[in-house]
Amino acid sequence: MPSTRATGKRGASRGAPLLRLRVGFVLIAIVLSFFGARLVQLQGMDPRSYAAMAAAEGSARLTLEAERGDILDRNGVPLADSIRGKMVIADPVLTAGKAPELARLLSDRLSIDYFKTLSALRGRKTGSRYEYVARRVPSTLAGDTLDALDEAGFEGISLEDDPIRDYPAGDVAANLIGYMGTDEPLGGFERTFDKQLAGVDGLATWQSTSGKGVRIPLRESTLKEPQDGTPLHTTIDRDLQWFTGKVLAQAVRQYRAESASAVVLDSRTGETLALVDVPTFDANDPTAPGVKKSDRGSRAMSDTYEPGSVEKVLTVASLIDAGKAFPRQKFKVPPSLARQDRVIGDWFDHGMIKLTLAGIIAKSSNIGTVLAADAFSPPQLVAYLQRFGLGQKTNVGVSGETQGILTPGDVMTSQTKDRVAFGQSLSVNVLQMAAAVNTIANAGVRVSPSLISGTAVTDEGLTVGTDTTTRTRVVSKEAARGTAKMMEKVVDPEDGVAPAAAVPGYLVAGKTGTAQRVEAECGCYDGSTTVSFGGFAPADDARFTVYVVVHAPGVDGGGGSIAGPVFSRIMGYVLGRYGVEPTNGTPSRLPVEW
């Protein structure tokens, strides 16, 4: 018996180690299976993302900003460029302890918000060692500020390159160029051509120690160089743009007007040498006190208005081209004209008068124009006006451009046609109407206007520029020449209504415009007017077309007395600037009355 118990104890002692060994093998197998599965996951299922995560743990990145392309005038003079600037950066690990004192010093010197600066110095997120304090700081100011911090014993502030967008001429062409925010374009060409101007940022990466950005020698690094933006060349003449703006601003003050616009075109090429809006703004300070949102865009392109009597020259040129009228044609013009439920009158009181077609233009008679336009059906008149470019965008590259309103001919009533014939019941934008008048200056060929030299593509994919210019025959050379001769009578001191638009020494062809203004909310006339003058010189060999529009003047007067003198000053300047000699041509001898 004792021997049997002894034998049993020895068997039990041999079994226990065996059991432990088996359990151990099972645990080892489980652990190896786990690591094996994890290895399969890392290497087989998503190796790139995990490798990137591992690399990122000890990597540093620095964006290398591309330099934004300049916006240039026709002579290569910068309208917008980039100058040296700095970004002020804080390391909250070093700045948090003295954040209040440091924030006050920085906010005072850099004119930035104290509380936002305080938040950055303390770290906007846990563990952050890189916080923006200020952007686009002039290099000199940033350097002086850093020196002051060093002298005061502050640590943790550093500088990085951060180019500043600069507009050397301030408000010159600001309505077209637009402006930049901190990181994005907020208007004008800056926004429309952002992809071309912005370029592509570069990137530098390297392996660093403890996430502090200190490069580890001999470890992997990469460098992708930035691609600077491409300059945008415009057709604008900076000096002419400046002069036109000063003359227009003076007129707005003198006549207490709400706003005004002016366009100067090269009559032969359609290039826009100046396109000005008043009021405007300084592109370097677009949010300055007193600057309205509407001041930061181009009213000349986005706002519509009824052109008034300037449109009459399009009507008569079309009639002559169609063989339905001629300059010496005689009309008996009554004091009023009853049409349907409306009575059409003239701007001046008169009895029955006898005017030629030239006289109707010289005196700007609504009644006479309607009588002449009776030779057209609504579709015929509309077809011509469409060929002049009315009711269609100019597509010169200005975002927000309106196409205006021109009722289709197949639905236009005869009553509407009467009003359209003398410039009401339709709407245009300023450049659109200037290009229409320029068609007469250019011997009846409409040359599409342009604002960009060469070719450029907007961010919306529209190709624009002088290389895309189109030419369309609208009326015959004879019809355009006959109309120009009639327009000469407008500035005639004896027969015309706008002698103040004359330019001494030059033959000038032009036309006045005065139209009632429509109130947007009610769709009714509000009692104010839009006055204008459009014309070209030299009248017998046109080089430039100028169109001036003044909205809601606060004094009595029409296109001849208000817009005419502005036209004269601008036209005289551009003729002199480009060295255009007088042609010494013979003034128009067309009769006004019969």
- Residue pLDDT tens, the chain, 594 long: 444 444 444 444 455 666 666 766 666 767 666 666 665 555 555 555 544 554 445 566 666 778 899 999 999 999 999 888 888 888 888 888 888 999 899 999 998 999 999 998 988 776 677 888 888 788 888 888 888 888 888 888 988 877 889 999 999 999 999 999 877 899 999 999 999 999 888 887 766 554 444 455 555 678 788 888 999 999 999 999 999 999 999 999 999 999 999 999 999 999 999 999 999 999 999 999 999 998 999 999 999 999 999 999 999 999 999 999 999 999 999 999 998 878 999 999 999 999 999 999 999 999 999 999 999 999 999 999 999 999 999 999 999 999 999 999 999 999 999 999 999 999 999 999 999 999 999 999 999 999 999 999 999 999 999 999 999 999 999 999 999 999 999 999 999 999 999 999 999 999 999 999 987 777 778 789 999 999 999 999 999 999 999 999 999 999 999 999 999 999 999 999 999 999 989 999 999 999
Task: Please indicate, yes or no, if residue 17 is contained in any of the structural domains.
Answer: no
Task: Please indicate, yes or no, if residue 517 is contained in any of the structural domains.
Answer: yes
Task: Please indicate, yes or no, if residue 35 is contained in any of the structural domains.
Answer: no
Task: Please indicate, yes or no, if residue 394 is contained in any of the structural domains.
Answer: yes
Name which of 160, 152, 158 is nearest 98 in CA terms. Answer: 152
Instruction: Looking at the structure, tell me whether residues 335 and 375 fall in a common domain.
Output: yes
Instruction: Looking at the structure, tell me whether residues 171 and 209 fall in a common domain.
Output: yes
CATH number at residue 94: 3.30.70.2110
Catalytic annotation present for 309: yes
Name which of 32, 547, 554, 523 is nearest 272 in CA terms. Answer: 547
- Catalytic choice (309, 318, 427, 532): 309
The torsion angles phi and psi of 325, rounded to 5 degrees, stand at -160, 165
Span 50-67, pLDDT tens digits: 445 544 455 666 667 788
Continuous segment of H or E residues that includes residue 371: helix 366-373
Task: Please indicate, yes or no, if residue 447 is contained in any of the structural domains.
Answer: yes
Both tokens assigned to 388: 């002049």
Give the amino acid at 528: S
Q: Which residues contact 428 (CB under 8 A, 6 or more apart)?
A: 304, 305, 306, 307, 390, 404, 436
Instruction: Looking at the structure, tell me whether residues 199 and 252 fall in a common domain.
Output: no
In the chain, the number of structural domains is: 3
Instruction: Looking at the structure, tell me whether residues 468 and 572 fall in a common domain.
Output: yes
Instruction: Looking at the structure, tell me whether residues 524 and 490 fall in a common domain.
Output: yes
Task: Please indicate, yes or no, if residue 395 is contained in any of the structural domains.
Answer: yes
pTM of the model: 0.83
Instruction: Looking at the structure, tell me whether residues 482 and 541 fall in a common domain.
Output: yes
Last residue of a domain, one of 234, 250, 271: 234
Q: Which residues contact 593 (CB under 8 A, 6 or more apart)?
A: 353, 354, 355, 356, 359
Name which of 337, 262, 89, 296 is nearest 189 in CA terms. Answer: 296
Task: Please indicate, yes or no, if residue 261 is contained in any of the structural domains.
Answer: yes
Instruction: Looking at the structure, tell me whether residues 314 and 394 fall in a common domain.
Output: yes
SS (H, E, C) 365-410: CHHHHHHHHCCCCHHHHHHHHHHCCCCCCCCCCCCCCCCCECCCCC
Instruction: Looking at the structure, tell me whether residues 483 and 412 fall in a common domain.
Output: yes
DSSP state of 505: T
The range of the structural domain enclosing residue 535 comes to: 238-286+293-577
157 in Cβ contact with 88 (< 8 Å): yes
Reduced to 3 states, what is the DSSP secondary structure of residue 246? helix
Neighbours of 582 (CB within 10 A): 13
Task: Please indicate, yes or no, if residue 34 is contained in any of the structural domains.
Answer: no
Instruction: Looking at the structure, tell me whether residues 218 and 183 fall in a common domain.
Output: yes
